[in-house]
Structure 1
Amino acid sequence: MAKKNYEKLAKEIVALVGGVENITNLTHCVTRLRFQLKDNSKADQKSLKELEGVLTVVIGNGQFQVVVGNTVEDIFNTILKLYPIQTEKRESVTVEKSGNLFTRALNTMAAIVNPIVIALAGAGMIKALLVILTTTLGVLDNTGSTYMILSAAGNSVFYFLPLFLAFSSAKAFDCNPYISLAIVGALLEPNFTGLITNAGDISSFMGIPVVLMKYSGTLVPAIIAVLVYSKLEKLLKKFIPKSIELFALSFAALIIMVPLSVIVIGPVGVYLANAMGSFVNFMSAQNGLLTGLIIGGGWTLLVMIGIHWGVAPIMINNISTYGYDFIRPMVAAATFASAGAAFGVFMKAKRKETKAFALSTVVPALLGGVTEPIVYGISLKYKKPFIAQIIGGALAGAFMGAMHTKAFVYVFPALTTLPAFFGDTFVYYIIGIALAFTITAILTWILGIDELADKEI
């Protein structure tokens, strides 16, 4: 899309979401413009979906999401150049409060995790690269300084993950992000970590027993700590005079929340996260086939409603705690099934425009794990590829689940991240993603497509 077309599309999108005066905040992820609107009813969803360059519209996580695919950053930057729109403020991460408790929990986790995915993805790629250089090719000494520096680049996000989560959690729970960082940062402070010889050792705070835990790489303790602090902050502001709030608020927060986090929240959070991981591992061990069938076939549905990031903490925690994760390979089944659907459409389509678009979505899916352009621009548009995608993902997921296939690094499932799956089950991963792609492509070709399908999704 030419630069002038980005400008035209940017203006049309802003106009159809209700104008710049209706926009409170704007962010973006891999494929979506995420608007926070004053009034969603002022947006014209039907007209937005009909714009060339827009795949669909999704309302979720408290946001009005316009899915535009791989051009998202160009369109985002164009909008910011054209309009004085806020992109950074404490309310920039908004949580959808409707739905049942489970849905709200997933929405909250998605709102917290989504902003840090870009850092996780890059760090994961470095960790995967190091596996290639040290294990596969044997060209890098894992005791040398070069390795150590690159390892620091790959490990930094994962080691300090509680700090990243503290910041995004503060935005989700609407409290001071810097005080939140200070509270969670205490769990990684050298004097505190120096007390720990083995996780589970007992120390004390003013005579109160403290179960010592290692919090680097953990997720749940930071999120719970900031959630509790968000409630405390509102309470403290009722009693602390504005004239001394600058120092009194942080003083009170730290002196209350750090001991509380060390004594109660931290250990409970670790045990809770471990329990969730143990449950997933138990299900995978007892009936990996069924677990893989559900995740491989159902993951795309989570992507459609934008809450798939809500499951990411379980996968990240598994890798941090156990050194591997069973879910990520099952997710890969859905990713490669999406690519297979697009390739099947490319092979079956008669119109040059359809072929060109389908092929353009295959590459980012295979190389970067980005599937939303396929889901919205192909699968849902033509319907039958979506059916093929669900079946292919489910069957491949079932296979990888049955073979207990593992991921050892958190990455986007793609051909470029294969080293993240190196290990005793790597051959099953290769077979699984090949099955997902091939089965879906063949089913899509057999089922066919209606190229005259209305663009409305």
Structure 2
Amino acid sequence: MSTETPASRGATPEPPKNRATAAAILPLVGGASNITSVAHCMTRLRLGVRDRSLVQDEALKALPAVMGVVEDETYQIVLGPGTVARVTPEFEQLVEEGRAAAPEPAADHGTAPEHALTADELAAQGAAIKAARKAKNQTPFKLFLRKIANIFVPLIPALIGCGIIAGLNGLLVNLGWLPSVTPALAAIASGFMALIAVFVGFNTAKEFGGTPILGGAVAAIIVYAGVANIEVFGQKLSPGQGGVLGALGAAVLASYIEKWCRKWVPESLDVLVTPTLTVLISGLVTIFGLMFVAGEVSTAIGDFANWLLASGGAGAGFVLGGLFLPLVMLGLHQALIPIHTTLIEQQGYTVLLPILAMAGAGQVGAAIAVFFRLRRNVSIRRTIKSALPAGFLGVGEPLIYGVSLPLGRPFITACVGGAFGGGFVGLFNMLGDSVGSTAIGPSGWALFPLLDGNKGLGATIAIYAGGLLVGYLVGFFATYFFGFSKQMLTEFNVDTEADSVPVAAGSPAQDRAKEPATVS
């Protein structure tokens, strides 16, 4: 019996799955020459494109690996956690290969065009003008929040990995198992958190236009054990005082000092003087000012979060869980990232994330209700069936952009489900059962391995699971009974085979679906 394969006979083997996905995406975004930047976050491939008109939205959405697309400051293709981290390097390699094979044309220096503009070229110019106007209208506050997100989002994989190891170690310690191994697990889980300030400083300087290693060097002062010998305002400093907030402030200061030095220091002395002054000046300000101030702010954040849930309880959880999806749509949720990180650094877990994760539960419940209400709409039901598994694991973009937001009212009832789920978890926090997460990023069922609290793992898991159940049920019933008007049912509960089109063409809901929104 022959074991010869096509590859062994000289045939070209099929490309690996992730490379095949990247290869399918590239021509649909205009090819390598149309790509100006490539990056990714937890779930999305984020692309800078030269000519927006070359991007084929519907064809991209039809790809099996693509959960949806979002247009914001960058063009974002939702691939899901895990997948995006594997597809991005393959995509970058294909872009580099494409540019090498077809070098970019020389820049136009103002010479007159050789031919009259076609309709397509005119449309492309219009799209470019629209994009420029959109960029001009970006508010400084939102741009600042994006910078903050760009600092912390790259740290999420390490937070998740170390958080899961910390949870496993805690379980083994409680059970009394493997006592010779648990100290090693504790070191692995804690090493990153002990030096997280350095990573924050590195990323901050990179984001604010400084030299990343100088930002990391200044931030390293915060975690240096020798600061315990320094007295500021009548108090001895402690290693780690100020945490990630202090590191962020120190690196921003270092970036501005470095830029000033580059402007005024002679080039012949730049290599010696600029890094020395940058580290010295920002280091002194960090030791004798920022560490103390940031330490007080960090302590206040932790105390306020604990007070809010201890006294506000169900009410605070209701508001936080109900407003999280709208915050995501406005891009304002990025302001919570340093707060989560500060709480994890201080207390070992953030009590806010499990409550905010209830918004995803409300979204899942609402989507299931839409599935039952629109029994004749094959297209929407197909979208829901394909997106629900990701929704249960905390990836909400496909359900948000493919179902609830285009329909309108189901998005509101999904928020109601999230509010009740958040209120449930908040109630138990008020009763003394803190439920927290040792990392940021995951939600839904994916958050279970990262849960931690003050009353044991069993109680923590039970409370979080109860909150999810409440979110599912309230989101479902609120949407089933109040998510559709008679007109909406007439419009959407129809037999259609339109692929991947969750709303009727030309409807107001479709227009709403086209509006850009931001989710990190």
Q: TM-score range by the shorter chain?
A: 0.7 to 0.9
Q: Please give the secondary structure, in 2, of the residue aligned with 1:140.
A: coil
Distance 1:454 1:139 in 2: 59
Query: What letter is aligned with 1:295?
Result: L
The residue that corresponds to 1:179 in the other structure is 214
Deviates more, 1:321-330 or 1:149-158: 321-330
The residue that corresponds to 1:58 in the other structure is 71
Q: Contact between 1:113 and 1:310, CA under 8 Å: does it hold in 2?
A: no
Distance 2:347 2:282 in 1: 29
Alpha-carbon distance, 1:408 to partner? 5.2
Q: Please give the secondary structure, in 1, of the residue aligned with 2:96.
A: coil
From 379, 384, 399, the equivalent of 1:358 is 384
- Alpha-carbon distance change, 260 to 304 in structure 1, aligned in 2, over 3 angstroms: same
Distance 1:78 1:320 in 2: 34
The residue that corresponds to 2:40 in the other structure is 28
Alpha-carbon distance, 1:263 to partner? 0.8
Q: Contact between 1:339 and 1:366, CA under 8 Å: does it hold in 2?
A: yes
Encode CA deviations 1:6-37: one digit per residue, 9 max, x unaligned. 2564124421xxx5445332111122121245
Distance 2:20 2:401 in 1: 21
- Alpha-carbon distance change, 353 to 290 in structure 1, aligned in 2, over 3 angstroms: same
Q: Please give the secondary structure, in 2, of the residue aligned with 1:438.
A: helix
Distance 2:378 2:180 in 1: 52
Q: Contact between 1:26 and 1:85, CA under 8 Å: does it hold in 2?
A: no
Encode CA deviations 1:156-202: one digit per residue, 9 max, x unaligned. 22221101211211121110001111111122234335x3xxxxxx6
Distance 2:301 2:36 in 1: 36
Asked if residue 257 in structure 1 is aligned to residue 282 in structure 2, the reply is yes
Asked if residue 223 in structure 1 is aligned to residue 248 in structure 2, the reply is yes
From 145, 158, 173, the equivalent of 1:106 is 145
Q: Please give the secondary structure, in 2, of the residue aligned with 1:66.
A: strand
Distance 1:29 1:393 in 2: 24
Encode CA deviations 1:122-165: one digit per residue, 9 max, x unaligned. 22122222233333xx1525xx3411211222222222110121
Query: What letter is aligned with 2:88?
Result: F
Distance 1:302 1:2 in 2: 35
Q: Contact between 1:158 and 1:217, CA under 8 Å: does it hold in 2?
A: no
Matches within 5 A, 1:96-175: 102-135=141-174, 138-141=175-178, 144-175=179-210
Query: What letter is aligned with 1:14?
Result: V
Instruction: Calculate the TM-score normalised by the size of structure 2.
Output: 0.72
Deviates more, 1:66-75 or 1:372-381: 66-75
Aligned residues: 425
The residue that corresponds to 1:393 in the other structure is 418
From 375, 389, 400, the equivalent of 1:375 is 400
Alpha-carbon distance, 1:399 to partner? 2.5
Alpha-carbon distance, 1:421 to partner? 3.4
Alpha-carbon distance, 1:58 to partner? 3.1
Q: Contact between 1:332 and 1:413, CA under 8 Å: does it hold in 2?
A: yes
Distance 1:166 1:26 in 2: 23
Q: Contact between 1:333 and 1:394, CA under 8 Å: does it hold in 2?
A: yes
Query: What letter is aligned with 2:360?
Result: T
Distance 2:225 2:144 in 1: 33
Instruction: Calculate the TM-score normalised by the size of structure 1.
Output: 0.81
Q: Please give the secondary structure, in 1, of the residue aligned with 2:420.
A: helix
From 309, 323, 335, the equivalent of 1:298 is 323
- Alpha-carbon distance change, 146 to 342 in structure 1, aligned in 2, over 3 angstroms: farther
Q: Structure 1: which 5+ residue stretches go unaligned?
A: 87-95, 196-201
Q: Please give the secondary structure, in 1, of the residue aligned with 2:243.
A: coil
Q: Which has the larger radius of gyration?
A: 2
Q: Please give the secondary structure, in 1, of the residue aligned with 2:210.
A: coil
Alpha-carbon distance, 1:351 to partner? 6.1
Encode CA deviations 1:189-242: one digit per residue, 9 max, x unaligned. 34335x3xxxxxx626xxx96750331792100100011111101111123222
Question: What is the RMSD of the two structures over their aligned residues, measured on CA atoms?
Answer: 3.3
Q: Contact between 1:162 and 1:216, CA under 8 Å: does it hold in 2?
A: no
The residue that corresponds to 2:108 in the other structure is none
Q: Please give the secondary structure, in 2, of the residue aligned with 1:26.
A: strand
The residue that corresponds to 2:452 in the other structure is 421
Encode CA deviations 1:30-61: one digit per residue, 9 max, x unaligned. 22121245x5xx3139842563245132314x
Q: Contact between 2:241 and 2:295, CA under 8 Å: does it hold in 1?
A: no
The residue that corresponds to 1:93 in the other structure is none
Distance 2:171 2:136 in 1: 44
Q: Contact between 2:218 and 2:283, CA under 8 Å: does it hold in 1?
A: yes
